[in-house]
Amino acid sequence: MDIFLAILIVIGLGLLSSGRVTYRLRRSRLMVVLLSGGWLAIFVGMLLGPNFFPLIGVTEAETTLVSPRALLESTPLLMMGLGWIGVMVGLQLRWEVVRSLSAGIWKVLLADASLSILLFGGIALVGIHLWTDADALAPIWPGVLLLTAGSIGWSMETRSLRMANATETDARLDTLIRATGALGGVLAVTVLGLGYKIVTRDADGAFVFDLTGAIGRAALIGVLAVLVALLGRFAIGLAGKDRGHQLVVFLGIVVFVAGIATQLDLPPVFAAMLTGVILVNLKGNSIEGFEKFIVKAEFTVATMFALLAGILLDPRIGLPGLALALVMALARILVKPAFTRWAARRSDEQEPRLPDDSPLYLGAARQHPIFLALAVSVVLLEPSAYNARLLTIVILSGLLCELLPIFARRAGSRALGDENSTDPRGAPTQGAPA
Amino acid sequence: MAEDPKTATSPQDPGSQEEATSSERSESHAPSAEAKGADDSMRLVLLVMIVANQGMLDDLVTAMLDLGIQGTIIESKGLMSLLRDEMPIFSGLAAMIPQRTGSRVVLSVTAAGEIDQVFSFLQNELTDDERPMAFTVPIDRFMSGSKKS
């Protein structure tokens, strides 16, 4: 009964999040940030789960509405949700879209990926080592990889950072930030997907590096993605334009690919993303309607996973864990915007030059929402207290990265007297109900 | 020198502003079918079609050409689509290419008598999923810098 209640609550709240009231709330800059990052849903998830009330001194037994154990019993369903996210990420990589991106975007992506792997990989390695007292790399590898991969890219939401008096160069920068963020998310999924199973457990249960096995699994996932995409394309043709049939086909694709990936102990997001990429680039019937249909559920699925993250997290990270989250957030806030500004201005050769001091650069400090989905997928693959605490670190550093640039920008704008850009309500249309 | 819009005459009857705007007339004096047909061929309406299904735009344009109806096509975006594109979460790349995510608004000023053929095409040739939102609006006054073809 607990499982059904848990699923019902999560799905119900997810559906509620796509209502008209939520859309109206998104017109506010602050609410855009809270909703697009899933922070509000994470907080609600914490209220539903077992971890919030003990923090304020109320006992667990009286207050837990949705227990993580009940949720974890429905892991196949949750894996399907992760598969949905993966396919969504993959479907955006249509060749004609990818081809239309400027060279500058690719250069910034490469620069950001290199920085993320070196800087955040280093921080994660040292931080997790100090946090867990591990004496070897293998046991902490999945955690290090998660924090490193998730650090690539940034949130694509730029509405909260746009200026009222944006120029043509601001618009170009906006495109660069959004596109690089999107591609960064793809890279993050790829890095985690390929690297996750480099470490496995041997017969004695000890962690060991297994590069050959990882290559074999990756190749298997590639073959699987091609086969599922081919079958999917055929099935989409059969489903035609009927929404009900399309949903059945889509769920079939997602369940199949996510299920097999889980059986191979691989993050289902990666296998599903690969399937999405192949599916959207196969020649044949148009799948535009299919794409729109899937992407429409984006906000609902994201909210459900944010709720899930709030329920599954374990806040007992201790001081070393807290320090790790803080260092990751500060490194992101201090380094990424400045580095992105340097890389963007260096890579973009168009005239007029990209602005030197746009608030849009602050967007680079914010974590990509896929980071949260990847962290949840690691908890689902191996539901341990350590992984639940890693999830807490991801959430905490993400929240800091999300809020600090907004407040910094508002403070900066006030100092400049730019009242339009600091309006937290958004700009309701004249005559429209507030 | 540009014509003052206030002095522009209705296309229904270039000499009579009163007739051009009076709809009560048709109610108080029920016209014969023949007279109504003649009236329809003179009366102008604005045909608006919102085409969300990009694949159907080609067929629609071909049909309009076959029917001899001119029009203007505007790239557009629905409210919900705009909200989604403004706040991408997992997939924001495709939203940056307007051709892939937007819809088209087809505007056409045409004689009311020709509209039935358009709606007949939409009703009979397209499926529910393919059919654009379509409606007409009566035109009280009309002026144009170029001669209507």
If one compares B140 and A112, the residue with the highest pLDDT of the two is: A112
Domain annotation covers residue A33:
no
Is A92 touching B (CB cutoff 8 A)? yes
Contact A369 B90 (CB under 8 A): yes
Strands (E), chain B: 44-51, 72-76, 103-111, 133-138
Domain annotation covers residue A18:
no
Cβ atoms of A142 and A102 closer than 8 Å: no
**Range ranked top by mean pLDDT from A193-202, A336-345, A409-418, B136-145:** A336-345
Q: What is the pLDDT of residues A179-238, one digit of tens each?
A: 999 999 999 999 999 998 888 888 887 888 888 888 888 888 899 899 999 988 888 888
Distance from CA of A200 to the nearest CA of B (A): 29
ipTM of the modeled complex: 0.74
Please enumerate residues of B whose Cβ is less than 8 A from a Cβ of A: 53-55, 80, 83-84, 86-94, 96-97, 100, 127, 129-130
Q: How confident is the model at residue B21 (pLDDT cuts 50, 70, 90)?
A: very low
Give A66: exposed, middle or buried? Use CB within 10 Å, 0-12, 13-18, 19+: buried
Least CB–CB distance from A92: residue in B55, B84, B94: B94
State yes or no: pLDDT of A68 exceeds 80: no
Give A54: exposed, middle or buried? Use CB within 10 Å, 0-12, 13-18, 19+: middle
Cβ atoms of A56 and A240 closer than 8 Å: no
Cβ atoms of A343 and A135 closer than 8 Å: no
Residue type at B143?
M
State yes or no: pLDDT of A371 exceeds 60: yes
Residue A283 backbone phi and psi in degrees, to 5: -80, 150
pLDDT at B2: 39
SS3 B95: helix
In whole angstroms, give the CA distance from residue A101 to residue B7: 51
H-run or E-run covering A356 = none
State yes or no: pLDDT of A311 exceeds 70: yes
DSSP string, A360-378: GGGGGGSPPHHHHHHHHHH
Q: Look up the CATH number of the domain holding residue A417.
A: 1.20.1530
Average pLDDT for residues A143-170, to the nearest whole number?
Answer: 87
Residue A66, strand partner residues: none
SS3 A284: coil
Containing structural domain, residue A237: 75-422
The total number of structural domains that make up chain A: 1
In whole angstroms, give the CA distance from residue A17 to residue A303: 7
pLDDT at A134: 83
Q: What is the pLDDT of residues A84-124, one digit of tens each?
A: 899 999 988 988 888 888 899 999 999 999 999 999 999 99
Domain annotation covers residue A162:
yes
Q: Using the Cα atoms of residue B30, residue B34, residue B38 and residue B40 in order, give the sign of their dihedral.
A: positive
In whole angstroms, give the CA distance from residue A332 to residue A372: 16
Q: Which of A297-301, A345-349, B101-105 has the lowest mean pLDDT?
A: B101-105
Q: Which of A76-80, A254-258, B31-35 has the lowest mean pLDDT?
A: B31-35
State yes or no: pLDDT of A426 exceeds 50: no
Distance from CA of A26 to the nearest CA of B (A): 8
A contacts of B88 (beta carbons < 8 Å): 36, 156-157, 178, 182, 298
In whole angstroms, give the CA distance from residue A306 to residue A37: 8
- Which of the residues B85, B93, B97, B103 would you substitute to probe the A interface, choosing the one with the greatest number of A C-beta atoms within 10 Å? B93
Longest dimension (CA), chain B: 62
Q: What is the pLDDT of residues B83-95, one digit of tens each?
A: 777 778 888 786 6
Q: How confident is the model at residue A8 (pLDDT cuts 50, 70, 90)?
A: confident
State yes or no: pLDDT of B15 exceeds 60: no
Average pLDDT for residues A377-386, to the nearest whole number?
Answer: 88
Domain annotation covers residue A393:
yes
Domain annotation covers residue A428:
no
pLDDT at A383: 87
SS3 A31: helix
Q: Which of A147-151, A252-256, A430-434, B133-137 has the lowest mean pLDDT?
A: A430-434
Least CB–CB distance from A302: residue in B90, B92, B127: B90
Domains in chain B, ordered, with CATH? 43-138 (3.30.70.120)
Rounded (5°) CA angle A363-A367-A370: 125
pLDDT at A58: 66
Domain annotation covers residue A13:
no
SS3 A207: strand
Residue B126 backbone phi and psi in degrees, to 5: -115, 150
State yes or no: pLDDT of A242 exceeds 50: yes
Domain annotation covers residue A366:
yes
Least Cα distance to B100 among B48, B52, B50 occurs for: B52
At A424, list the tokens. 């937290």
Domain annotation covers residue A53:
no
Q: What is the pLDDT of residues A9-64, one digit of tens each?
A: 777 777 777 777 777 777 777 777 777 778 888 988 888 888 777 776 666 556 66
In whole angstroms, give the CA distance from residue A245 to residue A243: 5
Residue B52 backbone phi and psi in degrees, to 5: -85, -25
